[in-house]
Amino acid sequence: MEKIISYQSEIWIAIGQTFTMVGFSILAAIVVGLPLGTFLYLSRSGNLYENKGLFLLLDTFVNIIRSFPFLLLVVFLIPFTRFIVGTAIGTTAATVPLAIISIAYYARLVEQSLLDVPKGIIEAAISMGATKMQIIFKFLYREARAGLVFGLTTATISFISYSTVMGIVGGGGVGDFAIRYGYQQFETGLMTFTIIMMIILVQAIQVTGTAISKKLDKRS
Amino acid sequence: MIELIQVEKTFDGVRAVYPLSLTIPKGQIHGIVGTSGAGKSTLIRIMNLLEKPDKGTVKVGEKILTYLSEHELRKARQNIGMIFQQFQLVLNRTVAGNVEMPLELVGVSKKERKKRVEECLQFVGLSDKKDAYPSQLSGGQKQRVAIARALANKPSVLLCDEPTSSLDPKTTIEVLQVLRHIKETLGVTIVIVTHEMDVVKSICEHVTIMREGKLIDSFQIEPQGLLVNEDQYIEDLRKMAVVKK
């Protein structure tokens, strides 16, 4: 306990870094991952913007990003990261590979949620004279909203997990703190404390996400 | 009101509809019957171009749909309501929200939307369900909501693709009553695709018969009213009883 108190400021910094990294990941997932997943769905054969070439391109991109062991992706992206933020070290730099994996990961979950929407709803929308934008926003997202929220919850928890290894590029965060102060300095208590903190955080996110998703779901 | 001229449709080398022409006058309840695979569903979907015919002309009202641009076609579709076997309601919207949808799409003001939604729900007898979600309704009620939704934009044509095929005899009557009421009070032209003979006999004034993608006959009939009657069924069954000796 004393140890925890004496490391208080480091813990707070680490928590701040984790929130920054995960926050950016969520933002990237929503701003880029959602549209990407939507296009993945729409360009699939038999769908609204059927386009074999585009589908193949997006599908391959998502698969490639997701086939990298995450640590290797971080290393592989170093030149790109340096190009984007000017440095490859630190919390800001860590957000770049995290954003990339988040986009690919959430896009896949978005695609899956949209595939669960019955095709008939889209036909009904077309028969009403809806524009493509209206079909996407008023029909597709409306019917898929529970899945989209549930997917984002799952994704967020994965983002937290990914963020824990960002110590490798000096990204810091709770995971890095647990390794450096807890594991490497033989402070098992400190490490256990960090792990418990993470468990509580993940639990809270899952419970909240499930509750929101359930509340939004009026399908049955 | 609806005129199909030499329309035809092939799916992956399989002929769904052979070239055929059909004219449906204004205000008629027109039944299209046939077994599954007869092409009747494709035919009704050609009427609002959900299925684009490979050849031929589709005319609804004054508009030749097959000539229209994407934008004009969307406008034209707002004048053609459609209901489906599986209702296709937006399940995450309330009953009122569903009926409001077509109005929202064309940008009707909120106040007017509310008024129109109330009118439509009253018409199908579901005013008390306006805040319910579709999952809380029976099949017949869901189809009535779908009808209210199809009527929201005051269409002159209502296309019904197997409207009662997933309903039991009692709720089938509910839906058929509403359809007949629409014809009588609003003068809407109604096309019904079905494999249920009882539906045709009860409300259709003209029947077109399809088989294997071909129109094999089309003639006027005298609708016999809503025949689907539980007592009648029981009576008929009793007549069939085998008496043991």
Domain boundary among B121, B154, B187: B154
Percent of chain A clearing pLDDT 70 (strictly above) = 100
Answer whether residue B234 shows pLDDT above 90: no
Task: Provide, as residue numbers in chain A, all residues whose Cβ is less than 8 Å from the Cβ of B104.
Answer: 138
B88/A123 touch (CB, cutoff 8 Å), yes or no: yes
Contact with chain A for residue B108, Cβ under 8 A: no
Domain boundary among B154, B174, B200: B154
A59 CB burial (10 A radius; 0-12, 13-18, 19+): middle
Please report whether residue B187 resides in a domain: yes
ipTM: 0.90
Domain range for A26 is 2-216
Alpha-carbon span B105 to A182, nearest angstrom: 58
pLDDT band at B36 (very low <50, low <70, confident <90, very high): confident
- Check whether residue B170 and residue B107 sit in a common domain: no
- Check whether residue B73 and residue B194 sit in a common domain: yes
Q: Which CATH number covers residue A193?
A: 1.10.3720.10
Q: Which CATH number covers residue B200?
A: 3.40.50.300
Please report whether residue B244 resides in a domain: no
Domain range for B19 is 2-79+155-239
Please report whether residue B149 resides in a domain: yes
Q: pLDDT for A131-167, tens place per residue?
A: 999 999 999 999 999 999 999 999 999 999 999 999 8
- Check whether residue B125 and residue B159 sit in a common domain: no
Say if strands B206-211 and B55-60 run parallel, antiparallel, or are unpaired: unpaired
- Check whether residue B218 and residue B131 sit in a common domain: no
- Check whether residue B96 and residue B172 sit in a common domain: no
How many Å is the maximal CA-CA distance in chain A?
Answer: 68
- Check whether residue B226 and residue B168 sit in a common domain: yes
Q: Span A119-131, mean pLDDT?
A: 95
Alpha-carbon span B170 to B22, nearest angstrom: 32
- Check whether residue B135 and residue B169 sit in a common domain: no
Chain B: residue whose CA lies nearest to A141: B92
Answer whether residue A59 shows pLDDT above 90: yes
- Check whether residue B140 and residue B162 sit in a common domain: no
| Residue B36 distance to chain A (closest CA, Å) | 18
| Residue B92 distance to chain A (closest CA, Å) | 5
Q: How many domains does chain B have?
A: 2
Q: Which residue has the tokens 């193949």?
A: A56
Please report whether residue B106 resides in a domain: yes
From chain B residues 141-180, the ones with a CB under 8 A of any chain A CB are 149, 153, 159
Contact with chain A for residue B102, Cβ under 8 A: yes
CB B132 within 8 A of CB B163: no
Task: Provide, as residue numbers in chain A, all residues whose Cβ is less than 8 Å from the Cβ of B101.
Answer: 128, 138
Q: How many domains does chain A have?
A: 1
Q: Span B163-184, mean pLDDT?
A: 91
Say if strands B14-24 and B2-11 run parallel, antiparallel, or are unpaired: antiparallel
Chain B: residue whose CA lies nearest to A139: B90
- Check whether residue B230 and residue B159 sit in a common domain: yes
What average pLDDT does the structure give for chain A?
93
Q: Span B44-71, mean pLDDT?
A: 94
- Check whether residue B71 and residue B164 sit in a common domain: yes
A127/B48 touch (CB, cutoff 8 Å), yes or no: yes
Q: pLDDT for B78-131, tens place per residue?
A: 999 999 999 999 999 999 999 999 999 999 999 999 999 999 999 999 999 999
Partners of B17 in the β-ladder: B9
Answer whether residue B203 shows pLDDT above 80: yes
> Which of A128, A137, A150, A218 to mutate to test binding with chain B, by most B CBs within 10 Å of its CB?
A128
- Check whether residue B178 and residue B200 sit in a common domain: yes
Q: Span B215-243, mean pLDDT?
A: 82
- Check whether residue B75 and residue B159 sit in a common domain: yes
pLDDT score at B227? 60
Please report whether residue B150 resides in a domain: yes
Task: Provide, as residue numbers in chain A, all residues whose Cβ is less than 8 Å from the Cβ of B92.
Answer: 142-143, 145-146, 216-219
